[in-house]
Amino acid sequence: MSKPLKQIHLAAHFPGVNNTTVWSDPAAGSHIEFSSFAHFARTAERAKFDFLFLAEGLRLREQGGKIYDLDVVGRPDTFTILAALAAVTEHLGLTGTINSTFNEPYEVARQFASLDHLSGGRAAWNVVTSWDAFTGENFRRGGFLPQDERYSRAKEFLATTNELFDSWHGDEILADQASGTFLADAKAGAFVHQGQHFDIQGQFNVPRSPQGRPVIFQAGDSDEGREFAASSADAIFSRYSTLTEGQAFYTDVKSRLAKYGRRSDQLLILPAATFVLGDTDAEAEDLAKEVRRQQVSGATAIKHLEFVWNRDLSSYDPDGPLPDIDPDVSENHISKGRAQVRMYRDPLATAREWRERAAANNWSIRDLVIETGNRQAFIGSPSTVAKTINDFVQADASDGFILVPHITPTGLDPFADKVVPLLQEQGVFRTEYEGPTLRDHLGLAHPDEVREERAAS
Amino acid sequence: MSSTSPSPLHLAVALDGTGWHPASWREPVARPRDLFTAAYWADQVAEAERGLLDFVTFEDGLGLQSSHYGDLDGRTDQVRGRLDAVLIAARIAPLTSHIGLVPTVVSTHTEPFHISKAIATLDYVSTGRAGVRVQLSARPHEADHFGRRTFEPISLESLRTPAGQERLAEHFDEAADYIEVVRRLWDSWEDDAEIRDTATGRFVDREKLHYIDFEGRHFSVKGPSITPRPPQGQPVVSSLAHQTVPYRLVARATDIGYVTPHDTDDARAIVAEIRAEQQAAGRADEPLHIFGDLVVFLDDDEATAVARRERLDALAGEPYTSDARIFAGTPAQLADLLQELQSAGLTGFRLRPAVAGHDLPAITQGLVPELQRRDAFRRAYEADTLRGLLGLARPANRYAAAAATA
């Protein structure tokens, strides 16, 4: 008997502070005005997507001691936008990245529990962590956190917020007007947490929300990150662009669940991906090349090379060969506030490899950055893209995708109009939402059911 | 309007749970089970907007509500629990079009960087109708929720001692720093910083982005904000004040101070004190609204309002007391009182409905028409922004101004 078809999960990432967001296109609108977010969210909901995703930034990026000005700069506050989007959508999940380093558990738990109430159960949290003093300069605590403590603080942060979410069971608000009993339990919300990072106690002041807790997302590819996700997350963002890499990641992460008493369907794997659609595959390929040229201007190419070389390369010609000098491997990095710099853990080796590849292919600096900077991308006609996505999911390379268009706010529209109907025809994507909450869309049980299940087994 | 008619007054409503009377939730109109839904708040704000009010405020706190000033009371017979006020305001913003939205934020335990971008974003999602009411917390049990600082137990009596005054001043100095940081961050982007210059590939002109470099006793903040300057430039900052130290904060740092006069002479004295502080702070020529806070029980005749108050007091088991004057009477009597207090120098009022489901509609459908009959209140919204409704100009950007004169 053949395996039943897996249902694909799809989400939409609002294009933002990254060189993949093409702001110079005449179709590009505001990335700040609420009308852009509302358009994007309505498109995602029209297409029956699981959720919308917002990234976060807490300090403007700098390079060479100056504010980086080539990409989109600036973004609104995550919680505020998600709460407002709850007013213009009915079903769409609302996922936001919130940093566990520059916040406190009580406040974040209040905000997510409030968002879950105000959206009728559609809140999700992408838990990220940071340690850098650069971002810390905007906050009371400063950049105090040693790098090796970032996951320990994140883990304890999440455990603490879960204690706060669980401090209300859901049956405390009686509001019995006749007897005059509002609260069934005077100690509703009581909590005590003593740990390495947090020593707090008291009473949480938001009653249990529709989803019990927000859905938890996690990104991070290190062994620690995978373990954190396996133990505590409902979904993990990955960045694997080939089928075999995707399958290896999928197998690895799913295999880690059992030791936490979890089933393999209790953690979804959702890589980020962009897409370029054309009437034909050839047309889409041409368009994709054009988009890449827009995403990587000569100036952008030089700046990206500086991430690896860690030197001012402004005197180099982006259309010329790569620098023959070696990267500066000192600690003080030319680029500040940018996560992808960490991808180049061995800059000398990366520089060597890039020089070899550029020489072998006769690539200029700009060509090299275009070729090496490619993310997971679906390029082709709608039917090709629908087929590729479905093949990827059915082959267990992921459970779905978080799509990032390159144009704000209309970039998602063609996908919604042309690809989604094909996936629906194939019976691998919903035509109606399964229920009101994000947990319903993702097929995740309510935490209370999970607790009962574990207790019963 | 003729020159003899009274100057129009400004009117806001303070939303808190099912209303300000602790037994308000037991009224048939109260909807206490809906308090944690968006629909409840949407309905309240829609009613306030139908009444053409300037704005609503949303109360908040970082601990459970309590009938004690400095500690939890363990009571189960009153509304306990609430949603984050900034998120409620944001959730309502797309559903409304004219009314100002002013959530409360607690400055003592939160990050001014986060609050600055949150209120700037509220201004974007409401297209220019955001404000903020800054509140501080010296409550030990709320400090325990954060675990970073400890506070000595506090009571209203202890605040009147010299040590209490010193502590109060310290807390308010921190709040002043907080507001300063939030305001600098709002200005840290010049209005025209986003240039989208395709010729040079530059999205922003970084010369128009500014580090705020704030260094204070409790925190330092580098800046710039990650959120561009909001539509109003500076959303409206407000604060509640009951004595000299808080009056000073109102005078130095806010656009609206809420005060609690008990009669006209009291109002006159408070206004004089705040105006003197404003002068001392060098802000004498800047507009600063002083709103009187009143708890209101409104009915068609006075006896009904008084009886309703007594009935609710009996339900609560004790007479309701408040920092603000408690009014029970008719819309016409309230209009008389407001105009009398206005003559003492108040520029507006923030009414606290005793029972939201009853007294909010009584304000919008009883008091407002009464004030309109007296030519004392607007008949239509005359502006699209909260600053516009309050007669406040869009402020120049401090950094742009500095750059222009440098």
Q: Would the CB atoms of A74 and B204 count as touching at under 8 Å? A: yes
Which site among B21, B24, B36 would you substitute to test the A interface, given the most A Cβ atoms closer than 10 Å to its Cβ?
B36
Nearest CA in chain B to A192: B145
pLDDT of res. A455? 63
Return the H-helix or E-strand segment holding A157.
helix A150-165
Interface of B with A in 60-79 (CB under 8 A): 61-65, 72, 74-79
Q: Would the CB atoms of B209 and A60 count as touching at under 8 Å? A: yes
Predicted confidence band of residue B154 (pLDDT cuts 50, 70, 90): confident
CA A257 distance to own-chain centroid: 21
Residues of A in contact with B315 (CB under 8 A): 180
pLDDT of res. A132? 82
pLDDT of res. A139? 94
Per DSSP bridges, beta strands A400-403 and A268-277 are: parallel
pLDDT (mean) for B11-32: 98
Nearest CA in chain A to B64: A205
pLDDT of res. A153? 87
Chain B nearest-CA distance from A147, in A, is 21
Read off the tokens for A377.
């991308």
pLDDT of res. B1? 37
Which site among A63, A67, A80, A119 would you substitute to test the B interface, given the most B Cβ atoms closer than 10 Å to its Cβ?
A80
Q: Would the CB atoms of A84 and B94 count as touching at under 8 Å? A: yes
Q: Which amino acid is at A175?
A: A
Q: Would the CB atoms of B76 and A181 count as touching at under 8 Å? A: yes
Q: Would the CB atoms of A180 and B141 count as touching at under 8 Å? A: no
Q: Is B5 on the interface with A (CB under 8 A)?
A: no
Q: Would the CB atoms of B227 and A66 count as touching at under 8 Å? A: no
pLDDT value at B2 more than 50: no
User: What's the N-to-C CA distance of chain A in angstroms?
Assistant: 30
Q: Would the CB atoms of A200 and B32 count as touching at under 8 Å? A: no
d(CA A136, CA B222): 9
Within B264-340, strands assigned E span 289-298, 325-329
Which of A60-69, B67-76, B211-220 bottoms out in mean pLDDT, i.e. has the lowest? Answer: B67-76
Q: Would the CB atoms of A81 and B125 count as touching at under 8 Å? A: yes
Q: Coil, strand, or helix at residue B181? A: helix
Chain B nearest-CA distance from A332, in A, is 19
d(CA A171, CA A188): 10
d(CA A79, CA A91): 17
pLDDT of res. A239? 79
Which site among A70, A85, A138 would you substitute to test the B interface, given the most B Cβ atoms closer than 10 Å to its Cβ?
A138
Nearest to A84 among B93, B204, B224 (CB): B93
d(CA A70, CA A85): 28
d(CA B126, CA A33): 10
Left (φ > 0), alpha (ψ -120 to 50) or beta: where does A310 sit?
A: left
Q: Would the CB atoms of A102 and B111 count as touching at under 8 Å? A: yes
Q: Coil, strand, or helix at residue A120? A: coil
**DSSP secondary structure, B243-261, as one string:** SHHHHHHHHHH-SEEEE--
Q: Would the CB atoms of A140 and B218 count as touching at under 8 Å? A: yes
Residues of B in contact with A206 (CB under 8 A): 36, 81-84
pLDDT value at B7 more than 80: no
Residues of B in contact with A75 (CB under 8 A): 226-227
Q: Coil, strand, or helix at residue A447? A: helix
d(CA B404, CA B406): 6
Instruction: Note the residue count of chain A.
Output: 457
Residues of A in contact with B81 (CB under 8 A): 168, 173, 183, 188-189, 205-207
Ranges of chain A whose pLDDT falls below 70:
1-2, 143, 340-342, 451-457
Chain B nearest-CA distance from A55, in A, is 13
Nearest to A175 among B32, B83, B95 (CB): B32
Chain A nearest-CA distance from B330, in A, is 27
Q: In the A/B pair of chains, how many CB contacts fall below 8 A? A: 227
Under 8 Å between Cβ of B107 and B62: no
Beta bridge partners of B290: B257
Chain A nearest-CA distance from B223, in A, is 6
Nearest CA in chain A to B219: A140
d(CA B105, CA A103): 15
Interface of B with A in 303-342 (CB under 8 A): 315
Nearest to A111 among B25, B61, B87 (CB): B87
Predicted confidence band of residue B117 (pLDDT cuts 50, 70, 90): very high
d(CA A159, CA A127): 12
What is the value of ipTM here, to two decimals?
0.97
Crossing angle (nearest 10°) for helices A78-88 and B112-125: 30
What pTM does this model have? 0.97
Max Cα separation, chain A? Answer: 83
Q: Which tens digit of pLDDT belongs to each residue from B349-386?
A: 999 999 999 999 999 999 999 999 999 999 999 999 99
Residues of B in contact with A116 (CB under 8 A): none
CA angle A195, A95, A101 (to 5 degrees): 30
Higher pLDDT, A374 or B343: B343
Q: Which tens digit of pLDDT belongs to each residue from B244-279?
A: 999 999 999 999 999 999 999 999 999 999 999 999
Q: Would the CB atoms of B77 and A79 count as touching at under 8 Å? A: no
Q: Would the CB atoms of B80 and A180 count as touching at under 8 Å? A: no
Q: Would the CB atoms of A34 and B127 count as touching at under 8 Å? A: yes
Chain B nearest-CA distance from A188, in A, is 9
pLDDT value at B3 more than 50: no
Return mean pLDDT, chain B: 95
Q: Would the CB atoms of B125 and A75 count as touching at under 8 Å? A: no
Chain A nearest-CA distance from B271, in A, is 35
Interface of B with A in 192-211 (CB under 8 A): 194, 196, 198, 200-206, 209
pLDDT of res. B4? 43
Q: Would the CB atoms of B79 and A73 count as touching at under 8 Å? A: no
Nearest CA in chain A to B207: A67
Q: Would the CB atoms of A198 and B147 count as touching at under 8 Å? A: yes
- Rounded to 10 degrees, the C-alpha dihedral B389/B391/B392/B394 comes to 70
Nearest to A207 among B75, B81, B86 (CB): B81
Q: Would the CB atoms of A175 and B84 count as touching at under 8 Å? A: no
pLDDT (mean) for B283-295: 96
Under 8 Å between Cβ of A229 and A253: yes
Which site among A21, A118, A134, A165 would you substitute to test the B interface, given the most B Cβ atoms closer than 10 Å to its Cβ?
A118
